[in-house]
Amino acid sequence: MIYDISPIIKKDIAVFPGDKEFTRKINLDFKNNDNLLLSEITSTLHLGSHADAPNHYNINGISIERVNLTNYIGKCQVIEVFKEPYQRIYPKDIQEYEILEKRILFKTNSFINPYKWNNDFNSLSPELIEYLSKYNVVLIGIDTPSIDPYDSKLLESHNMVYNKNISVLEGITLIEVPIGIYYLIAIPLSIKDGDASPVRAILLKNINLLYN
């Protein structure tokens, strides 16, 4: 079974208020008797399901084409957490789970509609990231636009993933994904000096699919 955990990119996909919205312009079209369909896009790099690069949140961070791709491929664990709106997730909130994999995806159900912005989504605490680092976690993902709250200026959780050398996936869609162990594939594009990249993130329930 394959779970596609990336929202469809289209003109009304939600982006952070003030960020560049997605647009697609058609330059050639069969409808106009052109010999092919050709289009261009304009957008923030932090679009839909995306990987943040360390240079997005630290002046000394590397850009997206230099990140370790192995962090975005491999076994992962989906954890579901129920919190009040706008709240961060702390280690105490996941005590019922045994950390089994080096890639952890958080299902919060707090940003259900990727085409309608809401400010009160859940996020991660720096304490949680520090806790996960003790299990040698290399990637943390979340089904919201950010691992920090909407109005955070200090970006404590982003700074903590930088300090712990942990990769970040944001904006994934997990509403139909049960908790459990999966194989993640979510490769960022090689964008020179990029601060992020959209990804087509998928989860495989049966790794044997890779060899069929």
- Tell me the per-residue pLDDT of 20-75, one tens digit each, with 9 for 90 and over: 999 999 999 999 999 999 999 999 999 999 999 999 999 999 999 999 999 999 99
Distance CA 204, CA 36 (A): 34
Instruction: Give the pLDDT confidence score for residue 21 in this predicted structure.
Output: 98
Asked if 158 is an active-site residue, the reply is no
Compute the C-alpha angle 35/39/40, nearest 5°. 155
Q: Which residues pair with 26 in a beta bridge?
A: 39
**How do residues 105-152 score in pLDDT, each as one tens digit?**
999 999 999 999 999 999 999 999 999 999 999 999 999 999 999 999
Where do the structural domains in the chain lie, given as residue ranges?
Answer: 2-7+45-211
Distance CA 37, CA 63 (A): 32
Q: Which fold has domain 2-7+45-211?
A: Glucose Oxidase; domain 1 (3.50.30)
- 3 state SS of 145: coil
Please determine, for residue 209, whether its predicted confidence score (pLDDT) is greater than 60: no
Q: Residues for the chain: how many in total?
A: 212
Distance CA 183, CA 160 (A): 25
> How many other C-beta atoms are found inside a 10 Å radius of the C-beta of residue 148?
23
- 3 state SS of 80: strand
Please determine, for residue 210, whether its predicted confidence score (pLDDT) is greater than 90: no
Distance CA 109, CA 120 (A): 11
Mean pLDDT of 150-176: 97
Instruction: Give the pLDDT confidence score for residue 206 in this predicted structure.
Output: 78
What's the chain's average pLDDT? 96
Mean pLDDT of 85-95: 98
Cβ–Cβ under 8 Å, residues 103 and 71? yes
